């Protein structure tokens, strides 16, 4: 008998008890906001912000009562618990990637008309290796799609091998505000390839092979170059290069990895040295930067973004520590701008 378990990994709907993933410092920043001429948060509330998730969820609820809309905004902002990988593709075979064009495809291929909130797409998974579109949401002309992927897990119980099917959701995004939208998939490469393929087949209605040259004509990976990454870093005004890896510029080792000093959860920029300068001028396949992002509520969050562009492998972004969706969107937007010129 096959048992199907729905384990939603990336959830953007709401905070449930035990799922509050707002950074402590952001929560404290909000508690210091003024209401009726004085700070909203008491000393006890600020102390609770460093406590367990249940206490923090109560604080979010209190903030939402005092400042309506806070909970929903935070849920949209902090979608991921930790590090996040982003793989991206061009979609040259999809003729119309405008909002109107995508809405027509959703209606034609999935019988879905996106409205307020997410729309569940009916369907079933019965065995490992399958995938399907599970949810569709259109927010500010950004299409968010959850692709549900099934896998097999086996274990030994009382001397007998058991097999179950499990599922996980992979988030796919397409920003229809951009002149030339690119497909963004928030997952490891294996999950990302499956989810992107499912999106092209089910949403766009394009029959795409699993591999081969014909696949690239339909779904082409975004390629990074060192000059492109340098341009993006300047445009983002990053806090400096916090890490790099590649063949040793001095020929003393096969490969070197240089990283800045850790401060809390982030890596600081590399200390200026002969080694850092010589390696920085060489050909590398990883470049990492300190990212400082100021949110609409004036909260400034620091994180590290890594550009991976090793020859022969799929280039991608990796946000090493917890990063908000607006910050990720800003970086991906710069990649899109440079990649589509």
Closest among 269, 102, 227, 66 to 174, alpha carbons compared:
102
Cα gap 325→175, rounded to integer Å: 13
Per-residue model confidence (pLDDT) at position 198: 93
| Domain range annotation of the chain | 86-221, 223-339
Lowest-pLDDT range, 53-67, 186-200, 274-288, 323-337? 274-288
* Residue range 204-224: mean pLDDT, rounded: 87
> What is the three-class DSSP state of 116?
coil
* Residue range 108-134: mean pLDDT, rounded: 78
* 334 has pLDDT over 60: yes
Closest among 305, 303, 290, 307 to 239, alpha carbons compared:
290
Q: pLDDT category, 127, cuts 50, 70, 90?
A: low
The segment with the largest mean pLDDT, out of 37-41, 199-203, 312-316, is: 199-203
Percent above pLDDT 90 for the chain: 32
DSSP characters over 278-305: HHHTS--SEEEEEEEEE-TTS-EEEEEE
| Strand partners for 307 | 287, 317
What residues contact 63, with CB distance under 8 A and at least 6 apart?
30, 31, 40, 70, 71
Kindly provide the residue ranges of all beta strands, DSSP E only, lying in the chain, ordered along the sequence. 4-7, 34-35, 38-39, 84-90, 119-120, 131-139, 142-157, 160-175, 183-186, 220-221, 241-247, 255-259, 262-263, 266-267, 286-294, 300-308, 316-319
What residues contact 266, with CB distance under 8 A and at least 6 apart?
242, 290, 302, 303, 304, 321
The DSSP 8-state label assigned to residue 20 in this structure reads -
Q: How many CA atoms lie within 13 A of 191 on its CB side?
A: 22
* 164 has pLDDT over 90: no
Radius of gyration of the chain (CA): 22
> What is the three-class DSSP state of 245?
strand
Between these two residues, 337 and 12, which has the higher pLDDT value?
337
Name the pTM for this structure.
0.82
Between these two residues, 311 and 94, which has the higher pLDDT value?
94
* Residue range 252-261: mean pLDDT, rounded: 84
> What is the three-class DSSP state of 104?
helix
**How many beta carbons lie within 10 A of that of residue 227, not counting itself?**
9
């Amino acid at each position: 008998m096959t048992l199907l378990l729905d384990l939603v990994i990336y959830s953007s709907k709401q905070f449930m008890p035990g799922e509050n993933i707002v950074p402590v410092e952001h929560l404290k920043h909000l508690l210091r906001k003024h209401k009726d001429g004085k700070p909203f948060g008491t000393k006890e509330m600020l102390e609770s912000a460093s406590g367990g998730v249940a206490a923090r969820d109560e604080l979010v609820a209190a903030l939402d009562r005092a400042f309506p809309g806070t909970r929903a905004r935070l849920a949209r902002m902090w979608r991921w618990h930790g590090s996040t990988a982003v793989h991206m593709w061009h979609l040259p075979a999809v003729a119309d990637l405008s909002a109107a064009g995508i809405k027509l495809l959703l209606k034609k291929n999935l019988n879905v008309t996106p409205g307020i909130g997410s729309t569940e797409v009916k369907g079933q998974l019965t065995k490992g290796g399958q995938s399907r579109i599970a949810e569709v949401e259109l927010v500010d002309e950004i299409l968010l799609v959850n692709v549900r992927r099934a896998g097999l897990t086996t274990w030994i119980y009382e001397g007998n091998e058991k097999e179950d099917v499990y599922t996980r959701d992979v988030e796919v995004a397409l920003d229809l505000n951009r002149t030339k939208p690119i497909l963004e998939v928030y997952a490891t490469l294996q999950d990302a390839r499956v989810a992107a393929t499912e999106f092209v087949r089910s949403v766009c209605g394009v029959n795409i092979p699993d591999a081969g040259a014909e696949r690239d004509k339909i779904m082409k990976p975004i390629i990074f170059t060192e000059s492109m990454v340098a341009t993006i870093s300047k445009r983002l005004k990053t806090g400096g290069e916090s890490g790099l890896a590649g063949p040793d510029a001095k020929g003393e080792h096969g490969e070197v990895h240089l990283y800045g000093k850790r401060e809390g959860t982030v890596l600081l920029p590399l200390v200026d040295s002969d080694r850092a300068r010589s390696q920085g001028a060489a050909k590398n396949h990883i470049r990492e930067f300190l990212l400082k992002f100021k949110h609409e509520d004036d909260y400034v969050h620091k994180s590290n973004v890594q550009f991976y562009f090793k020859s022969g492998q799929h280039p991608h972004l990796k946000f090493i520590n917890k990063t908000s969706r607006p910050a990720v969107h800003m970086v991906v937007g710069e990649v899109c701008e440079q990649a589509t010129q």
